[in-house]
Amino acid sequence: MRKPPLHRGAGGVCGPYRDRMSQPEPTPIRRARADRARQVSDVLRQQIHAGVYDGGMPAENVLAEEFFVSRNTIREALAVLKNEGLIDRGPKVGTHVAVHKYDHGLDALVGLKETFKDYGEVRNEVRAIQHLAAPPAVARRLQLEPGQQVVFVERLRYLGDLPLSLDLTYLAPDIGAEVLTHPLETNDVFALIEKVSGQRLGSATLALEAVAADPHSAATLQVPDGAPLLMLERLTSLHDGRPVDLEYIRMRGDRITMRGNLIRSDS
């Protein structure tokens, strides 16, 4: 095939060749096996949560072909998941899912009992109930006067016999006093707030971060010291905008996955 002619301008070569010469081919980056294993483990983790491998995981050679990596990379990826407690491995039994995680939505204002109603019975161990002077930071969040009384409740939440979360709750005094007239062992605080206030809950602001379990929280939630927990701080308001419920919730990171749906705005 005849090549197109070169055109030379004041700056040298012009035309199609100049574009090719100014854009050198990218140099392939050699990646450590640990990096590739992390990629594989991320996808496998999602598949485990989705229930794809409930009947057992494929053999190493099958996974290697599926991900276009070596069997050593697959072994390293599976070791990551085993260290997280998600899978068990054995020379004769193969690789199996060890635990299932429960989805907790981020896009609806619901209590734990409502959230996990399809998974089993949620019950509460009430560990503390106190009428106390609100710390200044709590008073500000609940729009109370400094030192005004609040109702403090600490609960350990179970799904069946599995401890899932440790909830520390500060309630506005009038709402809290009414909430305490109802059994907390079998009710969500959200449902009780709506019942005693005669209003629907309106909205909540929240922050979610990962924290390491302190020795006391670890013992309470039956996890090792330093185990990853999901720490949820949530301030909930009634439909009229009044904040009434400030919560600090420690959830087991090995048994709960937070999920939500996001929509990109036009702005």
Q: What is the mean pLDDT of the chain?
A: 89
Task: Give me the sign of the Cα torsion angle 135, 211, 43, 116.
Answer: negative
**Percentage with pLDDT > 90 across the chain:** 69
Each residue's pLDDT tens digit, 54-86: 888 999 999 999 999 999 999 999 999 998 889
Sole residue written with tokens 């109930």? 129
b or e along 159-196 (b: 16 or more beta carbons within 10 Å of the residue's beta carbon)? beeebbbbbebbbbbebbebbbeeebeebbbbbbbeeb
Answer whether 127's CB lies under 8 Å from 154's CB: yes
Taking domain 102-259, whether its CATH number is 3.40.1410.10 is answered by yes
Answer whether 159's CB lies under 8 Å from 116's CB: yes
Residue 266 has pLDDT above 90, yes or no: no
Each residue's pLDDT tens digit, 176-197: 999 999 999 999 999 999 999 9
pTM: 0.81
CA dist 65 and 37 (Å) reads 14
Q: How confident is the model at residue 15 (pLDDT cuts 50, 70, 90)?
A: low
Instruction: Find residue 133's DSSP bridge partners.
Output: 149
CA dist 144 and 170 (Å) reads 12
Q: How confident is the model at residue 113 (pLDDT cuts 50, 70, 90)?
A: confident
| Domain coordinates in residue numbering, the chain | 33-97, 102-259
CA dist 126 and 97 (Å) reads 33
- Provide the pLDDT for residue 100: 84
Token pair recorded at residue 133: 């002077």
Relative to beta strand 94-97, strand 87-90 is antiparallel
Collapsing DSSP to helix, strand or coil, 74 comes out as helix
CA dist 245 and 166 (Å) reads 16
Radius of gyration of the chain (CA): 27
Q: Under CATH, what is the fold of the domain 33-97?
A: Arc Repressor Mutant, subunit A (1.10.10)
CA dist 104 and 76 (Å) reads 29
